[in-house]
Amino acid sequence: MPELPEVETIKRELDKAVLGKKVVDIIVNNAKVIKEPKKERFIKELKNIAIKKIIRKGKLLIFELSSRKSLTIHLKMTGQLIYPGDGAVSRVSFRLSDGKLLDFNDRRLFGELRIVGDWRKLKFIKELGPEPFDINADKFKEMLAQKKTKIKVLLLDQKFISGIGNLYANEALFRAEINPQRPANSLSGKEKELLFKEIKNTLSEAIKYNGSSVDQYVQLSGRPGNYVKYHKVYDRDGEKCFHCNGKIKRISLGSRGTYFCPSCQK
């Protein structure tokens, strides 16, 4: 599933490619991804409306429109935005004022498109915890203080902290040499600081390399992101740890695949 770095990569590319353009036509090939309003109204609400601003909040993309409403796009598991697209496998295509298509592809149809009045009022948005880049180390330490939840499970809780998904939680914990099964409140002050630093480093590096193409994620151009080759533990079950040559182990935590080095991560 695309996480903060992947959605941020797409957001930055959208800024260059489609910002300020008008939606002149909407081609709906599968209405299942349109969550609100109904298809006909969705089309009507977008026609001849300009994209004024593009925002990323957690893993959600928001197009603020000249109509004062917003189009929100959640890629979920297999959603892709492609520009310029060809409409070949798109669920919904937006024909823009430059004549080109912005395609929303989504093999498994879990993605969600919505037109809403004020996106800030969406329940899901109101419940989002702060992003790592919006807080400092002291705040992070304070947030962890009372939490007995396993640290990795807590990092994935979007209501606690938003934007970190399974992949980057695994990577950040490896870099901070912290065992993912530790209760959050058992981390020392130093460990919390280091973890916070490594979360931000991991996310920043992933953005720099345009995200990780695991599953279906691609950049707006359709090209894969380049960060996979820098992964240290994710999806490396049974392979050698880059630090100690020990074996990377996979366990399940909160029903998510968790990869770590039992000798490096204490």
Do 144 and 137 touch, CB atoms closer than 8 A? no
Binding of Zn ion at residue 240 (CB under 5 A)?
Answer: no
Contact (CB, 8 A) for 79 and 104: yes
Binder of Zn ion out of 20, 117, 189, 246 (CB under 5 A): 246
Q: Is 64 among the residues known to form the active site?
A: no
Total residues contacting Zn ion by CB under 5 A comes to 7
**Cα 245 from Cα 261, distance rounded (Å):** 9
Does the annotation count 126 as an active-site position? no
- Coil, strand, or helix at residue 95? strand
Q: Which residue is nearest to Zn ion (CB)?
A: 241
Burial code of 192-229, b = ≥16 C-beta within 10 A, e = fewer? bbbbbbbbbebbeebbeebbbbbebbbbbeeeebebbe
Q: Measure the CA dihedral 22/23/25/26, to 10°.
A: 180
Rule CB under 5 A: choose which of 32, 200, 243, 247 binds Zn ion. 243
What is the token pair recorded at 129? 């915890």
Shortest approach of Zn ion to residue 263 CB, angstroms?
Answer: 5
Asked if 264 touches Zn ion (CB under 5 A), the answer is yes
- Measured from the CB atom, the residue of 71 and 233 that comes closer to Zn ion is 233
Residue 247 near Zn ion by CB under 5 A: no
C-alpha 118/C-alpha 65 separation (Å) is 11
> Residue 20 or residue 246: which is nearer to Zn ion going by CB?
246
DSSP H helical segments within the chain, as ranges?
4-17, 39-46, 123-127, 137-144, 151-156, 166-175, 189-208
Under the binding rule (CB under 5 A), the answer on residue 248 touching Zn ion is: no
Choosing from 81, 241, 258, 259, the residue that interacts with Zn ion (CB under 5 A) is 241
- Catalytic residue flag (residue 59): yes
| CB of 243 vs Zn ion, minimal distance in Å | 4
Q: Which of 56, 59, 95, 152 is catalytic?
A: 59
Out of 2, 5, 132, 180, pick the active-site residue.
2
Answer yes or no: 2 catalytic. Answer: yes
Task: State how far the Cα of 52 lies from the Cα of 49, in Å rounded to an integer.
Answer: 9
DSSP for residue 76: T
Q: Which amino acid is at 180?
A: P
Q: What six digits make up the tokens of 256? A: 């998510």
Smallest gap from residue 164 Cβ to Zn ion (A) = 22
Which stretch in 42-50, 124-132, 214-222, 258-266 sits in contact with Zn ion by CB under 5 A?
A: 258-266
The stretch near Zn ion (CB under 5 A) out of 33-41, 176-184, 236-244, 251-259 is 236-244
Q: Which stretch binds Zn ion (CB under 5 A): 30-38, 40-48, 130-138, 254-262?
A: 254-262
Residues that bind Zn ion (CB under 5 A): 241, 243-244, 246, 261, 263-264
